[in-house]
Structure 1
Amino acid sequence: ASGKYYVSLCVEAEKESLLCPNGGKQIGIDVGLKVFYSDSNGDTVENPHPLKKLQRKLRREQRRLSRKMPKSVNRERARVRVARVHERIANIRRDFLHKISTRLARENQTVAVEHLNIKGMLRNHKLAKSISDVSW
C-alpha cells in the first residue's frame, strides 16, 4: 500500500550460538492500558502509544486525501502518504512487541498471561481505540 518492496534473507547459524540458559524462571503478566504490562516481580513496561503520538499527522494526511479529486495523481500520492503513516504505526507496534516477547522468552522458562476476551472488549467504543493502540 505504501509503495515499498521488501527482501527476505535466510541465514544458517550454529545451534550452540543461539541457545541461552534462562535459569528456569517463572513469571505472570497482567496487561493494562496505562502500562503495557506489569509482572509478578513488580516490574512494569511502558507502552509506546504509537497511534496517540502520530494521531495528529495521520489526521492531517487523511484530511488532505479526502480533499483530492478521485482518480487523480495527487490523490494517489496522498493515499501513499496516509499508507506510510499507518505503516509507521504498525512498524512501531511490531518492533515493540518483538523486543518485549524476545526478552521475556530469554529471561523466563514459563510465562503466564491473563486470559481476556479482547474481541469482546473491542466492541466497547470508548475503549476500542486505546486497546488497539496497546496491541495486546
Structure 2
Amino acid sequence: MIRWVALFLISSGMAVACEATGQRLSSKVLDAPEVHMVVDEVPLAQPFSILISVCDEIAIDTLRVDATMPAHQHGMNYVPKVTELGDGLFRVDDMLFHMPGLWELQVDVGFGGEPVSYTSEVELK
C-alpha cells in the first residue's frame, strides 16, 4: 500500500532544463523526464531535507513524496513539507526515517495530468 504523505499542487509550474546534479531517480516509464535528488546526509531518526529537481521543459501539476520500508510494509511517521523553489526545483523538509533498514523514497510527479513515479533506495544502518 502506498501512502502519499506530502502533496504540492502547482498552479502553473514549469520545469526547465537543468544540469544533472545529485542522484538520478529511476522510473519505469520510458522517456520519462529526468528527476534528480540531492541530499547531504540521511541521518537515522532525525529530520532531514532533500532537493528534488525536475529536468525538462514540461508543466508540473503535482509533486508527491513518501518513503516506505518494503520489508516492514510501513512508511514514515511524519508528514514532510514540500516547497516549490521555482524552475523545477523543490525542497522537501521534515523527512524522517525512524528505524534502520532499507527505505524506498517515492516521488510522484504529475505532468499534464499524467503521473510518473520515481524511486530511490536508501539503506540506513
- TM-score w.r.t. the length of structure 2 is 0.24
Quick check: which has more Rg, 1 or 2?
Answer: 1
- Specify which structure has the higher proportion of strand: 2
- Specify which structure has the higher proportion of helix: 1
- TM-score w.r.t. the length of structure 1 is 0.23
